[in-house]
Amino acid sequence: MQEWYRDPITSRLVRNTTLAHTPLPDTNSIMVNHVSLQDKFYPIHTSLSSCILLPEANGNNFELKPQFINTLPGFHDLESEDTYFFIREFEKVCLMMRIPQLGEDAVRLRFIPLTLKDIDKKWMYNLPVSSISSWDDFVKVS
C-alpha cells in the first residue's frame, strides 16, 4: 500500500517509497503557517493614500463623465513625447470641461491620474502622500 505525506518544506504531496514504515513529518509545524485558499486567491487589498490632496468641492453633486475622460491626452513619457506640449494640451482640454461645483485646479487634479501611463503613473504613486495640493505643485514636481 502506498503512503503519502505532505513535505513540510515544499508543501507538496510526496509518496513514501521506503518499504519499512518511517515516521511521518510533524504536521503541527505546518499548520502554524497555514494559509487558507481564500487568503491565497483573494489577498487583502489595501489602498494607499494619494499624493494628490483634492480641493473641496462646492457641493457633492458633480459627475466626471466618460466622454471627458476620452478627450484627455495620454502621456507615456516616451522620447518622442514633449512634456510641455502634453501639459498645454491637458490644460486646454480641462478648460473646456466646465463642472460648476469644481474650480479649474480641482478639475485638473482629478483628471491628471487618468492621463499618466506606464512609468509616469508609477512615478506619481511613489510621491509622498498629499504632496500635491494644487496644479502648480504638480507642474513643479513633474
**Range with the lowest mean pLDDT among 53-57, 71-75, 94-98?**
53-57
pTM of the model: 0.60
What's the average model confidence in pLDDT over 25-42? 63
**pLDDT band, very low/low/confident/very high, at 46 (cuts 50, 70, 90):** low
CB atoms closer than 10 angstroms to residue 82: 10
List of domains in the chain: 3-41 (no CATH), 66-141 (1.10.1200)
CB atoms closer than 10 angstroms to residue 60: 6
pLDDT at 47: 66
Per the listing, cell 493614500 goes with 49
Residue 63 has pLDDT above 60, yes or no: yes
Lookup: cell for 56:
473641496
Residue 118 has pLDDT above 70, yes or no: yes
Residue 22 has pLDDT above 70, yes or no: no
What's the average model confidence in pLDDT over 123-129? 86
**pLDDT band, very low/low/confident/very high, at 77 (cuts 50, 70, 90):** confident
Question: Distance of alpha carbon 113 from its chain centroid, rounded?
Answer: 11
pLDDT at 51: 86
Residue 108 has pLDDT above 70, yes or no: yes
